[in-house]
Structure 1
Amino acid sequence: MNVRSGVGLLLAAVVWNTAASAAEVQVVVDGVKHDKGAVKVALYVDPATFRKEDKALARQSQPAHVGQQVFTFSGLAAGRYAVVVYHDENGNGEMDRFLGMIPTEGYGLSNNPEVSGPPKFEPSAFDVSEGAPTKTVVELRY
């Protein structure tokens, strides 16, 4: 084997190993009530930035449709994550709130914790490990 083919095999092994060891999170959103607007999912790894959408580790959006929607986040490191989901019914790009506190659009959190006051990271947090995808089901509340 020459040097070029050896380097090529080494690079292929590194790429394969990185892809094989990356974690994946599948977020299943249940209970979308109508097809207006979009369903948005934000994935967090840092409790200090939890619920600050612009500081999420990753975000995804899909046009809303009634029932269930699935979002997949790939290439993640193993660790502890939490998810915030909301149905941006009016398409203004943010979760609307009454008096700046109470959501007026559908929303949900990983682990579906009971919430009194601003949600915290830990009740919504779940562990992700390398290998098989981690699935979390989020029930929207309207």
Structure 2
Amino acid sequence: MCVVLGLGLAGAGLLPAIADAADLEVTASHVVPGPGSIRFVLYRGAEGFRHEDKAFRVLSAPAGTGSASVHFQDVPPGRYAVMAYHDANDDRKLDLRLGMFPKEGWGLSNNPRVMGPPGFAPSSFAVDEPDRSIVIEMHY
């Protein structure tokens, strides 16, 4: 009985974190239809921003129409940024020309004007409500 009660109390501590988690709908607009997929890379905080291997989560959607959407579930409250890119050759990376200019379509949350490498702050947004939707304009 003590074990069951202890597990019940331990599990109760998890409920607020689960209850606060949000669903985030992200849509990429102005997608040029073609082969490959649109990859949506969700970053939690500035650390590791623009490095997909350090992303919080990554989802993909087909690039066959003028828009693409994904649904991130159970996103804890915090500050996030999303980078979307049209992975035309499905190699799971944003192909660059001269190591710095995108060869594939791309976009960022908040749709900031970018001169040089994009930063986390202009692209960041708060996840602090149960459901959130954002639209990212793709650039080719």
Tell me the TM-score range normalised by the shorter chain.
0.7 to 0.9
Where does structure 1 lack aligned partners over 5 or more consecutive residues? none
One-letter amino acid matched to 1:93: R
Q: What's the counterpart of residue 127 of structure 2?
A: 128
Moved more, 12-21 or 59-68: 12-21
Where does structure 2 lack aligned partners over 5 or more consecutive residues? none
Which secondary structure state, in structure 1, belongs to the residue aligned with residue 53 of structure 2?
helix
Count of residues paired in the alignment? 140
TM-score by length of 1: 0.85
One-letter amino acid matched to 2:22: A
One-letter amino acid matched to 1:133: D
Contact 1:35–1:63 (8 Å) recurs in 2: no
How large is the Cα RMSD of the aligned pairs?
2.2
Q: What's the counterpart of residue 56 of structure 1?
A: 55
Contact 1:31–1:66 (8 Å) recurs in 2: no
TM-score by length of 2: 0.86
Contact 2:25–2:70 (8 Å) recurs in 1: yes
Shift of 1:15: 7.2
Q: What's the counterpart of residue 64 of structure 2?
A: 65
Contact 1:60–1:71 (8 Å) recurs in 2: yes
What percent of counterpart residues are identical? 40
Which secondary structure state, in structure 1, belongs to the residue aligned with residue 47 of structure 2?
helix
